[in-house]
Chain A
Amino acid sequence: MNQVGATIKASRMVYLSSIVLLCLWILGPLYLLAVNALSSPETINQFPMSLIPEFDLESLIFFLKFNGMIDALINSIMVAILTMIFSIGLGAPAGYALSRFDFIGKEFFRVMILMTRAFPLPLLALPLAVLFIETGLDDTQIGLSLIHTTLALPFAILITFSLFSGIPRELEEAAWTLGCTRFGAFRCVVLPLILPGITASAIFAFVISWNEVFASAVLTIQNRTLTAFLLQNLDTAPLHLKFAGGFILVIPALIFIFAVRKYLFAMWGISNR
């Protein structure tokens, strides 16, 4: 009896310490980043470092006033939103088709979707840049979001494919027999059921675009996104500005994911209805 108790206690300890370790793994760097971003330049260069933020907004304010910074932020958001719209707009119908219809080459198509990610972007950068300049898409939000869409689309298709597959075909069929057209059944039955999943997959596309730096750096010059802008400007900047830049890069993505966290985990019938 005692031994069993001890084993349970031990396994509980392992469980708890794993959780703590995981949380530290994620939260530790974020915390250090926040502390440094919120400290005055002098404190950052001190040794030993204080682990308590002093809420000095000097470097953040300096950073926000940095020339072109706000433009880059807006560019980033715009490109990410466009990417989100494109990848769901194209990905969700593709996912629906994959899950509901039988067509020749379906399996091949599914493999090919992932294969698009096997192409290294640097390899494509030069021809893409040339093509973009020729078509006038270079240095535009639309142009860059198209590239980001190609990165996010495979995931959007595969995520929506599994979402649609998780919805019993009978639900749609029941709607058809109750007077719905194919589109009507989709709108009244399937859409409300997959909306949380679609939201999650849209956020995913947003974050992919937000974090992408290579294509952004190559394909934009005037209209840089935040990542490309920071890459260009922070290389030579003092330490406190690097922290502030990193902080500003991380925060929007964090807030966004936090706001929709419910949809990231919530599937119908499991945690919310």
Chain B
Amino acid sequence: MAEISIRNISKRFDTYEALTDINLDILDQEFMVLLGASGCGKTTLLRIIAGLETASSGEVWIGDRRVDHLPAKDRGISMVFQNYAIFPHLTVADNIGFGLKMAKMDATTMADRIQENAELMHIEQLLSRYSGELSGGQRQRVAVARALAMEPDVILMDEPLSNLDALLRLEMRAELKGVLQRSNTTAIYVTHDQVEAMSLADRVSVMDSGKIVQAADPMELYRSPATHFVAGFIGNPPMNFLKAQLTQSNVWNVAGIEYQGPNTASGDLLCAIRPEDVTLSPTGLPAKILMIEPLGPHLLVTTSIADTAFRAILDLDSHVQVGDQIFLKPILERIRWFDPSSKLAVHA
């Protein structure tokens, strides 16, 4: 049983505030991904949970123990590092067994545990090798096996796939997900790759300049971004934003077309539409095509709607050309609204 509770964690480096009052609760056996651009504080937060960094203030609880004053070794965690951190002077077997040896486990149990985890990660034929003789993907497997062999309450992963090439990353991603689902371990996974985050996570915490902006399951994150930042960060390409003016109670004018929207006092909102949530229809928003990129399954069309760039994903057989005037009709229930000053979502 290891739920994690992060309470009011802040971290300052000299004058720079890396983390500001972070609060996050992670359920037992949950797969939580911390997602954000580089420098947003996600790795710092992970290192604070691991005990490799001390918070300036706040508390970290794992299970029912407060751990922020404990050294890393007493927290019941194990960690997978971005550069794998395989000990170069030890064989793969000794690497996997390193933590068990530190825990003074007896030799037969240890050998079993090493074998079992090596098989789990499909590296049982590499046990006598050194890290210098392994490929990046194999090192990654050793690092994961080493972390799992500890049978930790919590496994922490710091961009574990970012040093692998694209194809291997896909393969390892699926494998990691399977292995961790079976292991009954709570996992915290740091990445800047939103596809990785969405595909792995039970829940994603999007971070931006030292704060958690939204923690939600991947579908909700995608459908209902809580802030303008999340809407502009998640999705490839991300959401389009168009200016909207209030015409009458909960009716908004977007580029000359009127849509039902939230009922607020302020006169301006941003209307957010996902590129794939539009269809060609004469009743849609008037758009002028600036650029067409065929992506294989569909066309990515960059248009201009009321002098604002708007990207739309259209069917491959749409028969459109650069310079064409087209009309894009959004799926009404998927339109989201944001307050341009507070940057927060406004619900209809």
Contact = CB atoms under 8 A, between A and B. Distances in A.
Contacts of A96: none
A160 to B, nearest CB: 18
Interface stretch (B73-81, B229-237, B250-258, B285-293): B73-81
A186 interface: no
Contact of A193 (B88, B98, B102, B156): B88
B70 to A, nearest CB: 11
B340 interface: no
Contact of B78 (A178, A188, A189, A268): A178
Contact of B102 (A170, A180, A182, A268): A180
A168 B102 CA distance: 21
A273 B102 contact: no
Contacts of A268: 88-89
A178 B105 CA distance: 13
B89 A177 contact: no
A238 interface: no
B73 A180 contact: yes
B204 interface: no
A246 to B, nearest CB: 41
A178 B81 contact: no
A179 B88 contact: no
Contact of B79 (A171, A177, A180): A177
A177 B83 contact: no
- Contact-residue bracket for chain B: 20 to 34
Nearest to B73: A179
Contacts of B77: 177
A188 B88 CA distance: 12
B39 interface: no
Interface string A242-273: 00000000000000000000000000110001
A104 to B, nearest CB: 12
A266 to B, nearest CB: 12
Contacts of A93: none
B99 interface: yes
**Most chain A CB within a 10 A radius of its CB, from B73, B77, B82:** B73
Contacts of B71: 176, 181-182
A177 B72 contact: yes
B132 A175 contact: no
A273 B132 CA distance: 8
Interface string B45-74: 000001110000000000000000001110
B85 interface: yes
A176 B78 CA distance: 9
A176 B72 contact: yes
B45 to A, nearest CB: 15
Nearest to A270: B132
Interface of A: 168, 170-171, 173-182, 184, 188-189, 192-193, 268-269, 273
Given A174-B87, A177-B52, A178-B150, 12 more contacts: A168-B83, A170-B82, A173-B81, A174-B146, A176-B51, A176-B71, A176-B72, A177-B73, A177-B79, A178-B99, A188-B98, A193-B89
Interface of B: 50-52, 71-73, 77-79, 81-83, 85, 87-89, 98-99, 102-103, 130, 132, 146, 150, 156
16 contacts: A168-B83, A170-B85, A171-B87, A173-B85, A174-B79, A174-B87, A178-B98, A179-B99, A179-B102, A179-B103, A180-B102, A181-B73, A188-B98, A192-B89, A269-B88, A273-B89
